[in-house]
Amino acid sequence: MRISVVTPSFNMARFLGETIESVLCNLQPGDEYFVIDGGSKDGSADIIRQYDRQLTGWVSEPDRGYADALAKGFERAAGDILYWVNVGDLLLPGALGAARDALGRTGVDMIFGDDFYIDEDNRVISFSRGYVRDLRAAMLYGGWTPLQDACFWRRELYRRIGGLNAGLRYAADYDLFLRMAVAGRTAYVPLAFSAFRRHGGQKSISGAAAYKAERREVQRSALSSAAVVSSGLAQRLWQPIAVRWRARVLHPWVWRRADLVGRPIGEFTCGSYWPPTRAP
């Protein structure tokens, strides 16, 4: 199975090269990699141009935001599996191979896993576990979003649901993964595929309130859709509690990996930190 990776880029030249190299070292023959830049003015295009021969394709032109950039990239993709990694974030060595194996082994339409949270100096701040028992229910009723940089899905599912909603400015990831969780089969894979970077001016931090508001609108729309069969009042009551429980108790106490904090992310490969056979 071939994998197509897309990186949306805008004025993030400082971290762009590292992200590109983390993907390139993962690619196997037949895989694709597209970098879609939104017309950056910080020299990003010059950095991308340095990798021109190793990329399947790239553009640098104005767009309507990260969802629009991703939609452009996935429209060009011909791989069997799709994935995106934002500038600043890193794919761990072996991640694409592990994702390819997991999708082939499980036969599902989408997998979701774990990641690391790193600082600007590539040191681990924390470990993030992406496990939920029922992704569809957690998203639909609890408003939970899987770790975006640890999600891989089949192109057939992406096309079946109509792809990304390029009109969304903040919660396009929640919208996409929710529609795929409702329409397809999903499975959690206990592997850290990537590292999510904290940095100044991060949209996920500065736009947190706007993200939540847009996510709530997407959630309301999904719950009112005739295509969604309600699981009843119990799920509507339980899932918000379960999502808060995992954030306040499971992550900081049960799933805590203090032994990993402060270590350089370069020490880790996909799965090197956690026995892949360990039960959730």
Q: Check residue 255 and give its pLDDT.
A: 87
The reply to whether 278 falls in a domain is: no
Q: Check residue 280 and give its pLDDT.
A: 39
The reply to whether 218 falls in a domain is: yes
Token pair of 205, please?
């931090």
Tell me the per-residue pLDDT of 61-96, one tens digit each, with 9 for 90 and over: 999 999 999 999 999 999 999 999 999 999 999 999
Asked if 11 contacts 40 with a C-beta cutoff of 8 angstroms, the reply is: yes
The reply to whether 201 falls in a domain is: yes
For residue 57, CA distances in Å to 32, 106, 108, 116, 244 come to 8, 30, 28, 28, 41
Q: Report the distance separating Cα 225 and Cα 219, nearest Å.
A: 10
> Helices (DSSP H) in the chain: which residue ranges?
13-24, 44-50, 66-76, 95-106, 135-142, 155-160, 172-183, 203-206, 208-224, 233-245
Q: Report the distance separating Cα 151 and Cα 148, nearest Å.
A: 6
The reply to whether 280 falls in a domain is: no
Task: Provide the number of structural domains found in the chain.
Answer: 1
The reply to whether 40 falls in a domain is: yes
The reply to whether 162 falls in a domain is: yes
Q: Which domain holds residue 135?
A: 3-267
What is the rounded end-to-end Cα distance, in angstroms, of the chain?
A: 27
Q: Which helix (H) or strand (E) holds 28?
A: none
**SS3 (DSSP) at 61:** coil
In 3D space, the residue among 107, 108, 110, 144 whose CA is nearest the CA of residue 129 turns out to be: 144
Q: Check residue 204 and give its pLDDT.
A: 56
Which segments in the chain show pLDDT lower than 70?
201-206, 226-232, 274-280
The reply to whether 272 falls in a domain is: no
pTM score of the predicted model? 0.93
> What CATH number does residue 201 fall under?
3.90.550.10
Q: What b/e sequence results for 74-83 when a residue is b if at least 16 CB atoms lie within 10 Å of its CB, and e otherwise?
A: beebebbbbb
Tell me the per-residue pLDDT of 150-180, one tens digit each, with 9 for 90 and over: 999 999 999 999 999 999 999 999 999 999 9
Tell me the per-residue pLDDT of 199-208, one tens digit each, with 9 for 90 and over: 876 655 668 8
Token pair of 44, please?
């990003």
